[in-house]
Amino acid sequence: MKIVLLGYMGSGKSTIAKALALEMGVNAKDLDKQIEAHVGLSIPEIFEQKGELFFRKKEHQVLEEEIKSDANVVLALGGGTPCYSNNMDLISSQENVRSIYLKASISSLTKRVLSDSYERPLITGIKAEDIPEFIGKHLFERMPFYERADFIVSVDDKSVQQVVSEIRNLL
Ligand code: S3P
């Protein structure tokens, strides 16, 4: 089985993917890392040098390869992955895939994206004081895609272990 973790930037997808995969005895994968390896550039460099459209096409291509492979894996998506190229249709169409939306509040997402905004091209250039409004608007637009996940798990004020246990109980 494949477990796909989705959610906004800073919701903890990569951290939870690693911890969950360890418990389940499978590999954790990170879609952004896979894209970086394919292209040979970091995510900020891809946005800067090739543009977001190039990134979204690559994201879809790498997702399709991952989703259609036989490997049992916990895969952390990028924050925007569910919202482009019919990616949620692709994810939902696979019988062996379970998707989980890691849901976080605007205030906890704000804290987390501010601590590593240099890694996030969509946030660079936005003033720290404007980040809550930016996230609120962005989240509102993305919510319909995120809510197509098979399960929704709230992550606010929970430890990694708590979130991992909740996910395991759902599967
Ligand atoms: C993006 C989120 C990032 C990365 C890219 C675009 C987005 O992933 O894929 O910068 O559109 O929300 P994380 O959610 O892992 O930061």
CATH code at position 92: 3.40.50.300
Q: For 64-120, write each residue's pLDDT tens digit.
A: 999 999 889 999 999 999 999 999 999 999 999 999 999 999 999 999 998 876 688
Cα 125 to averaged position of ligand 1 atoms, centre (Å): 15
83 belongs to a structural domain: yes
Q: What angle do CA 169, 103, 101 make, to 5 degrees?
A: 60
127 belongs to a structural domain: no
Please state, for a pLDDT cut of 70, what percent of the chain lies above it. Answer: 99
Look at ligand 1, atom 16, and give the residue with the nearest C-alpha: 9
Torsion sign (Cα): 43, 49, 55, 57: negative
Q: Three-class SS of residue 3? A: strand
Cα 78 to averaged position of ligand 1 atoms, centre (Å): 4
Mutation test of ligand 1: which of 32, 124, 139 has the most ligand atoms closer than 8 Å to its C-beta?
32
Per-residue DSSP letter, 127: -
Per-residue DSSP letter, 77: P
Domain that holds residue 11: 2-104+146-166
69 belongs to a structural domain: yes
123 belongs to a structural domain: no
122 belongs to a structural domain: no
Confidence of residue 25 (pLDDT cuts 50, 70, 90): very high
132 belongs to a structural domain: no
Counting the structural domains of the chain, the total is 1
Q: Is the CB of 122 under 6 A from ligand 1?
A: yes
pLDDT (0 to 100) of residue 118: 67
Q: Which residues pair with 30 in a beta bridge?
A: 76
Cβ proximity of 113 and 131 under 8 Å: yes
Cα 12 to averaged position of ligand 1 atoms, centre (Å): 12
Q: Three-class SS of residue 123? A: coil
Q: Three-class SS of residue 2? A: strand
Look at ligand 1, atom 8, and give the residue with the nearest C-alpha: 78
Q: Three-class SS of residue 75? A: strand
158 belongs to a structural domain: yes
117 belongs to a structural domain: no
